[in-house]
Amino acid sequence: MDKRIAESELIINSRGAVYHLDVRPEELAHTIITVGDPDRVGAVSQHFDKIEGKFQHREFVTHTGYIGNKRLSVVSTGIGTDNIDIVFNELDALVNIDFNTRLVKKDLTSLQIIRLGTSGALQDSIPVDSFVVSSFGLGLDNLMPYYAFETTEEEKQLLEAFRGQVALHPGSASPTIFAAANSLSSHFGEGFHHGITVTCPGFYAPQGRVLRGTLSNPNLIDNLTGFSYNHHRITNFEMETSGIYGMGRVLGHQCLSVSAIVANRIRQEFSKDSGAAVSNLIKKGLEIIAAI
Ligand code: R1P
Ligand code: URA
Protein backbone atom coordinates (compact mmCIF):
# COMPACT_ATOMS: atom_id res chain seq x y z
CA MET A 1 0.00 0.00 0.00
CA ASP A 2 1.26 3.50 -0.80
CA LYS A 3 2.34 5.35 2.33
CA ARG A 4 2.05 9.12 2.59
CA ILE A 5 5.36 10.62 3.84
CA ALA A 6 4.65 12.80 6.89
CA GLU A 7 5.45 16.54 7.18
CA SER A 8 8.15 15.75 9.81
CA GLU A 9 10.00 13.38 7.44
CA LEU A 10 9.94 15.27 4.14
CA ILE A 11 10.02 18.96 5.04
CA ILE A 12 8.67 21.29 2.34
CA ASN A 13 8.95 25.04 2.96
CA SER A 14 6.45 27.82 2.18
CA ARG A 15 7.98 28.20 -1.32
CA GLY A 16 7.13 24.54 -2.02
CA ALA A 17 10.87 23.76 -1.90
CA VAL A 18 12.72 21.00 -0.07
CA TYR A 19 14.01 22.02 3.40
CA HIS A 20 17.83 22.22 3.24
CA LEU A 21 18.36 22.84 -0.48
CA ASP A 22 15.45 25.31 -0.91
CA VAL A 23 14.89 23.96 -4.43
CA ARG A 24 11.50 23.06 -5.99
CA PRO A 25 11.09 19.92 -8.16
CA GLU A 26 10.89 21.91 -11.42
CA GLU A 27 14.06 23.85 -10.50
CA LEU A 28 16.36 20.81 -10.64
CA ALA A 29 17.98 19.29 -13.76
CA HIS A 30 18.45 15.52 -14.02
CA THR A 31 22.20 15.84 -14.62
CA ILE A 32 23.77 17.25 -11.46
CA ILE A 33 27.29 18.34 -10.61
CA THR A 34 28.14 18.40 -6.91
CA VAL A 35 30.98 20.45 -5.46
CA GLY A 36 32.09 20.84 -1.84
CA ASP A 37 32.77 24.56 -1.83
CA PRO A 38 29.70 26.85 -2.21
CA ASP A 39 31.90 29.36 -4.11
CA ARG A 40 32.69 26.66 -6.69
CA VAL A 41 29.04 26.64 -7.84
CA GLY A 42 29.49 29.98 -9.63
CA ALA A 43 32.85 28.81 -10.99
CA VAL A 44 30.94 25.97 -12.71
CA SER A 45 27.83 27.89 -13.79
CA GLN A 46 29.89 30.71 -15.36
CA HIS A 47 30.44 28.21 -18.20
CA PHE A 48 26.67 27.71 -18.71
CA ASP A 49 25.16 29.31 -21.85
CA LYS A 50 22.07 30.23 -19.84
CA ILE A 51 21.28 30.28 -16.10
CA GLU A 52 17.64 29.55 -15.32
CA GLY A 53 17.70 29.88 -11.51
CA LYS A 54 19.91 30.37 -8.47
CA PHE A 55 18.97 29.09 -5.00
CA GLN A 56 20.72 29.11 -1.63
CA HIS A 57 20.06 27.96 1.91
CA ARG A 58 22.94 27.49 4.40
CA GLU A 59 25.95 25.96 2.55
CA PHE A 60 23.72 24.49 -0.16
CA VAL A 61 23.94 26.67 -3.28
CA THR A 62 22.24 25.47 -6.48
CA HIS A 63 22.46 26.96 -9.98
CA THR A 64 20.39 25.41 -12.79
CA GLY A 65 20.96 26.22 -16.44
CA TYR A 66 21.99 24.98 -19.86
CA ILE A 67 25.10 24.17 -21.87
CA GLY A 68 23.64 23.98 -25.38
CA ASN A 69 20.54 21.79 -25.00
CA LYS A 70 21.87 20.00 -21.93
CA ARG A 71 20.12 21.07 -18.72
CA LEU A 72 22.40 20.92 -15.70
CA SER A 73 22.24 21.76 -12.00
CA VAL A 74 25.33 22.41 -9.90
CA VAL A 75 24.87 21.97 -6.15
CA SER A 76 27.30 22.59 -3.27
CA THR A 77 27.31 19.93 -0.57
CA GLY A 78 29.72 21.47 1.92
CA ILE A 79 32.22 19.10 3.52
CA GLY A 80 31.62 15.53 4.63
CA THR A 81 29.31 12.56 4.18
CA ASP A 82 26.89 13.84 6.83
CA ASN A 83 26.03 16.57 4.31
CA ILE A 84 25.89 14.00 1.48
CA ASP A 85 23.11 12.24 3.42
CA ILE A 86 21.09 15.47 3.35
CA VAL A 87 21.82 16.49 -0.24
CA PHE A 88 21.20 13.05 -1.76
CA ASN A 89 17.94 12.41 0.09
CA GLU A 90 16.64 15.83 -0.96
CA LEU A 91 17.80 15.52 -4.60
CA ASP A 92 16.07 12.13 -4.74
CA ALA A 93 12.90 13.50 -3.12
CA LEU A 94 12.78 16.29 -5.73
CA VAL A 95 12.47 13.76 -8.56
CA ASN A 96 10.96 10.66 -6.96
CA ILE A 97 8.38 11.93 -4.45
CA ASP A 98 5.24 13.80 -5.48
CA PHE A 99 5.31 16.98 -3.34
CA ASN A 100 1.49 17.33 -3.51
CA THR A 101 0.46 13.80 -2.50
CA ARG A 102 3.68 13.03 -0.54
CA LEU A 103 3.70 9.57 -2.17
CA VAL A 104 6.68 7.93 -3.87
CA LYS A 105 6.15 8.14 -7.64
CA LYS A 106 5.36 4.96 -9.59
CA ASP A 107 8.00 5.72 -12.25
CA LEU A 108 11.32 6.51 -10.64
CA THR A 109 13.96 8.82 -12.15
CA SER A 110 17.64 7.88 -12.02
CA LEU A 111 19.75 11.04 -11.80
CA GLN A 112 23.26 11.39 -13.18
CA ILE A 113 25.36 12.92 -10.40
CA ILE A 114 29.01 13.85 -10.87
CA ARG A 115 31.22 15.25 -8.08
CA LEU A 116 33.94 17.69 -9.15
CA GLY A 117 36.07 17.96 -6.01
CA THR A 118 39.56 18.15 -4.56
CA SER A 119 41.59 15.37 -3.00
CA GLY A 120 44.95 14.21 -1.64
CA ALA A 121 46.97 11.59 -3.57
CA LEU A 122 48.25 8.47 -1.82
CA GLN A 123 50.60 7.33 -4.60
CA ASP A 124 53.92 8.92 -5.55
CA SER A 125 52.97 8.50 -9.23
CA ILE A 126 49.85 10.72 -8.99
CA PRO A 127 51.16 14.30 -8.99
CA VAL A 128 49.49 17.43 -7.72
CA ASP A 129 47.28 19.14 -10.35
CA SER A 130 46.40 15.77 -11.98
CA PHE A 131 42.84 14.36 -12.01
CA VAL A 132 41.53 11.14 -10.46
CA VAL A 133 38.30 9.30 -11.27
CA SER A 134 37.16 7.20 -8.30
CA SER A 135 36.61 3.63 -9.52
CA PHE A 136 35.32 2.79 -6.02
CA GLY A 137 34.47 4.84 -2.94
CA LEU A 138 35.76 3.10 0.21
CA GLY A 139 34.18 4.65 3.28
CA LEU A 140 35.94 4.96 6.62
CA ASP A 141 33.21 7.41 7.65
CA ASN A 142 30.05 6.34 9.42
CA LEU A 143 27.20 7.16 7.00
CA MET A 144 26.41 4.04 5.00
CA PRO A 145 26.18 1.59 7.95
CA TYR A 146 22.88 3.40 8.77
CA TYR A 147 21.35 2.21 5.46
CA ALA A 148 20.49 -1.26 4.15
CA PHE A 149 22.17 -1.90 0.79
CA GLU A 150 23.34 -4.62 -1.56
CA THR A 151 26.98 -5.17 -2.51
CA THR A 152 28.45 -6.94 -5.54
CA GLU A 153 30.79 -9.92 -5.34
CA GLU A 154 33.72 -7.73 -6.44
CA GLU A 155 32.92 -5.15 -3.73
CA LYS A 156 32.78 -7.95 -1.10
CA GLN A 157 36.17 -9.29 -2.20
CA LEU A 158 37.75 -5.83 -2.18
CA LEU A 159 36.42 -5.16 1.31
CA GLU A 160 37.72 -8.48 2.59
CA ALA A 161 41.17 -7.74 1.11
CA PHE A 162 41.06 -4.24 2.65
CA ARG A 163 40.19 -5.64 6.10
CA GLY A 164 43.12 -8.06 5.81
CA GLN A 165 45.66 -5.43 4.73
CA VAL A 166 44.66 -2.21 6.51
CA ALA A 167 44.43 -2.22 10.30
CA LEU A 168 41.89 0.29 11.62
CA HIS A 169 41.92 1.38 15.23
CA PRO A 170 39.33 -0.21 17.57
CA GLY A 171 36.08 1.74 17.62
CA SER A 172 36.34 3.03 14.03
CA ALA A 173 33.33 2.65 11.73
CA SER A 174 32.91 -0.54 9.74
CA PRO A 175 34.30 0.19 6.23
CA THR A 176 32.01 0.11 3.18
CA ILE A 177 32.80 0.05 -0.55
CA PHE A 178 30.74 0.96 -3.63
CA ALA A 179 31.68 1.06 -7.31
CA ALA A 180 31.31 4.08 -9.60
CA ALA A 181 28.62 4.06 -12.32
CA ASN A 182 30.35 2.57 -15.33
CA SER A 183 27.95 4.48 -17.60
CA LEU A 184 29.69 7.68 -16.41
CA SER A 185 33.29 6.59 -15.69
CA SER A 186 33.69 5.21 -19.22
CA HIS A 187 33.53 8.80 -20.55
CA PHE A 188 36.52 9.89 -18.44
CA GLY A 189 39.45 8.26 -20.27
CA GLU A 190 42.50 10.14 -21.44
CA GLY A 191 43.95 12.59 -18.92
CA PHE A 192 42.42 10.90 -15.86
CA HIS A 193 43.95 8.47 -13.35
CA HIS A 194 41.50 5.83 -12.09
CA GLY A 195 41.60 4.14 -8.67
CA ILE A 196 39.96 3.51 -5.31
CA THR A 197 39.18 6.66 -3.31
CA VAL A 198 39.09 6.39 0.46
CA THR A 199 36.55 8.67 2.15
CA CYS A 200 37.56 9.85 5.61
CA PRO A 201 35.50 11.34 8.46
CA GLY A 202 37.91 14.27 8.81
CA PHE A 203 40.82 16.12 7.17
CA TYR A 204 43.50 15.85 9.87
CA ALA A 205 44.00 12.67 11.97
CA PRO A 206 41.47 10.69 9.86
CA GLN A 207 43.77 11.41 6.88
CA GLY A 208 46.96 10.78 8.91
CA ARG A 209 47.69 14.51 9.38
CA VAL A 210 48.53 16.03 12.73
CA LEU A 211 49.58 19.55 13.40
CA ARG A 212 49.85 18.87 17.16
CA GLY A 213 48.97 15.77 19.16
CA THR A 214 49.48 12.12 18.33
CA LEU A 215 47.83 9.75 15.85
CA SER A 216 46.07 6.66 17.21
CA ASN A 217 46.85 4.87 13.91
CA PRO A 218 50.23 6.15 12.62
CA ASN A 219 50.45 3.42 9.94
CA LEU A 220 47.22 4.42 8.18
CA ILE A 221 48.75 6.22 5.19
CA ASP A 222 51.41 3.55 4.56
CA ASN A 223 48.79 0.81 4.75
CA LEU A 224 46.43 2.61 2.35
CA THR A 225 49.25 3.34 -0.12
CA GLY A 226 50.45 -0.28 0.01
CA PHE A 227 46.99 -1.85 -0.43
CA SER A 228 46.58 -3.92 -3.57
CA TYR A 229 44.03 -6.43 -4.76
CA ASN A 230 44.05 -7.78 -8.32
CA HIS A 231 44.67 -4.66 -10.43
CA HIS A 232 43.14 -2.31 -7.82
CA ARG A 233 45.02 0.19 -5.68
CA ILE A 234 44.06 3.16 -3.54
CA THR A 235 44.87 6.39 -5.38
CA ASN A 236 43.56 9.16 -3.12
CA PHE A 237 41.42 10.23 -0.21
CA GLU A 238 38.86 12.94 0.48
CA MET A 239 35.59 13.31 2.40
CA GLU A 240 32.46 12.62 0.26
CA THR A 241 32.90 9.93 -2.43
CA SER A 242 31.83 6.78 -0.51
CA GLY A 243 28.68 8.57 0.66
CA ILE A 244 27.90 9.67 -2.91
CA TYR A 245 28.38 6.17 -4.33
CA GLY A 246 26.58 4.55 -1.40
CA MET A 247 23.56 6.87 -1.54
CA GLY A 248 23.51 6.39 -5.31
CA ARG A 249 23.28 2.62 -4.71
CA VAL A 250 20.51 2.96 -2.11
CA LEU A 251 18.41 5.43 -4.13
CA GLY A 252 19.16 4.20 -7.67
CA HIS A 253 21.17 7.10 -9.11
CA GLN A 254 24.26 6.95 -11.35
CA CYS A 255 27.20 8.57 -9.60
CA LEU A 256 30.79 9.47 -10.35
CA SER A 257 33.41 11.31 -8.31
CA VAL A 258 36.27 13.13 -10.05
CA SER A 259 38.95 15.01 -8.11
CA ALA A 260 41.69 17.52 -8.77
CA ILE A 261 44.70 16.38 -6.74
CA VAL A 262 45.75 19.36 -4.63
CA ALA A 263 48.04 17.50 -2.19
CA ASN A 264 50.40 14.57 -2.64
CA ARG A 265 50.80 13.00 0.78
CA ILE A 266 53.68 10.73 -0.22
CA ARG A 267 55.77 13.51 -1.74
CA GLN A 268 54.46 15.91 0.93
CA GLU A 269 53.62 18.51 -1.73
CA PHE A 270 50.70 20.91 -2.13
CA SER A 271 49.65 22.43 -5.48
CA LYS A 272 51.26 25.79 -6.23
CA ASP A 273 47.94 26.91 -7.75
CA SER A 274 45.07 24.74 -6.55
CA GLY A 275 42.54 27.27 -7.93
CA ALA A 276 43.90 26.69 -11.45
CA ALA A 277 43.81 22.90 -10.95
CA VAL A 278 40.14 23.09 -9.92
CA SER A 279 39.21 25.39 -12.79
CA ASN A 280 40.97 23.06 -15.26
CA LEU A 281 38.96 20.15 -13.84
CA ILE A 282 35.73 22.13 -14.19
CA LYS A 283 36.45 22.99 -17.86
CA LYS A 284 37.50 19.45 -18.78
CA GLY A 285 34.67 17.91 -16.75
CA LEU A 286 31.97 20.14 -18.28
CA GLU A 287 33.13 19.35 -21.83
CA ILE A 288 32.65 15.65 -21.09
CA ILE A 289 29.43 15.98 -19.06
CA ALA A 290 27.74 18.24 -21.63
CA ALA A 291 28.33 15.55 -24.28
CA ILE A 292 27.06 12.54 -22.24
C1 R1P B 1 38.48 19.31 2.47
O2 R1P B 1 39.34 20.38 2.25
C3 R1P B 1 37.39 19.24 1.43
O4 R1P B 1 37.98 19.18 0.12
C5 R1P B 1 37.57 18.00 -0.57
C6 R1P B 1 37.19 17.06 0.56
O7 R1P B 1 36.40 16.00 0.11
C8 R1P B 1 36.54 17.97 1.56
O9 R1P B 1 35.21 18.27 1.22
O10 R1P B 1 36.55 18.16 -1.53
P11 R1P B 1 35.89 19.57 -2.01
O12 R1P B 1 37.03 20.43 -2.49
O13 R1P B 1 34.97 19.22 -3.12
O14 R1P B 1 35.18 20.14 -0.82
N1 URA C 1 40.80 17.23 0.36
C2 URA C 1 41.01 16.29 1.30
O3 URA C 1 40.07 15.79 1.91
N4 URA C 1 42.27 15.91 1.55
C5 URA C 1 43.33 16.46 0.93
O6 URA C 1 44.48 16.09 1.24
C7 URA C 1 43.10 17.45 -0.05
C8 URA C 1 41.80 17.82 -0.31
For residues 137 and 243, give the distance between their C-alpha atoms in angstroms, rounded to a whole number.
Answer: 8
CATH C-level class of 25-291: alpha beta
Residue type, 106: K
b/e per residue 179-205 (b: at least 16 CB within 10 A): bbbeebbeebeeebbbbbbbbbbeeeb
CB-ligand 1 contact for 91 (6 Å cutoff)? no
**What pLDDT was estimated at residue 170?**
87
- Could you state, in order of their start, the residue ranges of all structural domains in the chain? 25-291
ipTM surpassing 0.90, yes or no?
Answer: yes
Q: Is the pLDDT reported for residue 1 higher than 90?
A: no
87, containing H or E segment: helix 81-96
pLDDT tens digit string along 69-111?
999 999 999 999 999 999 999 999 999 999 999 999 999 999 9
Q: How far is the CA of 12 from the centre of ligand 2 (A)?
A: 34
User: Which atom number of ligand 2 is nearest to the Cα of residue 239?
Assistant: 3
Indicate whether residue 137 lines ligand 1 (CB < 6 A).
no
Q: Give the β-pairing of 112-121 and 31-35.
A: parallel
